Amino acid sequence: EQWQTDPRFGGLERVGGVDLSYVKGDESRACASLVVLSYPALEVLYQDCRMVTISAPYVAGFLAFREVPVLVEAVRRLQQEKPQLEPQVLLVDGNGLLHPRGFGTACHLGVLTDLPCVGVAKNLLHVDGLVRDELHREQVRSLQSSGETFPLTGTSGKVLGMVLRSYNNSSKPLYISVGHRVSLGTAVRLVRACCRFRIPEPIRQVPARGGLAAGL
């Protein structure tokens, strides 16, 4: 990647994860969490979990406008308070280019922070003719071991993302897409390297720590 050619880049050392954990029964209250892990050891270096009020309504396809502002605030706090721990890449629990408008949460957050971002989704959005039909399910079943993938090619002919079997003991795949300043190949390799279980550690650590902070 271009950012890896910077003379100041001495190798990948920090990977972040972001997500929101909503209070049960109250969609206006959530815990916005940012976690930074060392790489490749995947040990927690930094965490910021804060209760926030979400004012924007939920509108399908526009989730980023509801959630990204508080995630940007979390990144800004880190940059001001612990700049030496700023993540070199952020994994986002959501989609990047694999989105009805080609610009999901991972893209939105990446542009506003200028950090390389990767979209990591647990379910497939119905975009550009992509559907979870029997053909798709058969392709998922064909992924026999950790690290195996197949591309998500829409009816337009564009490759919008990659399906990854991230963990041998789970047949449920992840849907990886480009967010910002990262290629799809790099995104897939990074997510795979960060998986001890099905969900990559930077994202897996977020709900657990955010839930504890929120008292969930």
Tens of pLDDT, residues 104-136: 999 999 999 999 999 999 999 999 999 999 999
pLDDT of 210 strictly over 60: no
Instruction: Give pLDDT, residue 48.
Output: 94
- Report the alpha-carbon distance of residue 18 to residue 41 in Å, rounded: 19
Query: Which has the higher per-residue pLDDT, 163 or 207?
Result: 163
Instruction: Give pLDDT, residue 216.
Output: 47
pLDDT of 85 strictly over 70: yes
Instruction: Give pLDDT, residue 179.
Output: 98
pLDDT of 212 strictly over 80: no
Instruction: Give pLDDT, residue 27.
Output: 82
In CATH, which superfamily holds the domain spanning 2-205?
archaeoglobus fulgidus dsm 4304 superfamily (3.30.2170.10)
User: Which pLDDT tens digit goes with each residue over 148-182?
Assistant: 999 999 999 999 999 999 999 999 999 999 999 99
Instruction: Give pLDDT, residue 25.
Output: 84
Rg (CA), the chain: 17
Instruction: Give pLDDT, residue 182.
Output: 97
The dihedral sign for the CA sequence 84, 88, 91, 92: positive
H or E element, residue 191: helix 184-193
**Contact between 199 and 94 (Cβ < 8 Å):** no
Q: Which of 146, 151, 174 is nearest to 162 (CA)?
A: 151
Spans of all domains in the chain: 2-205
H or E element, residue 31: strand 26-38
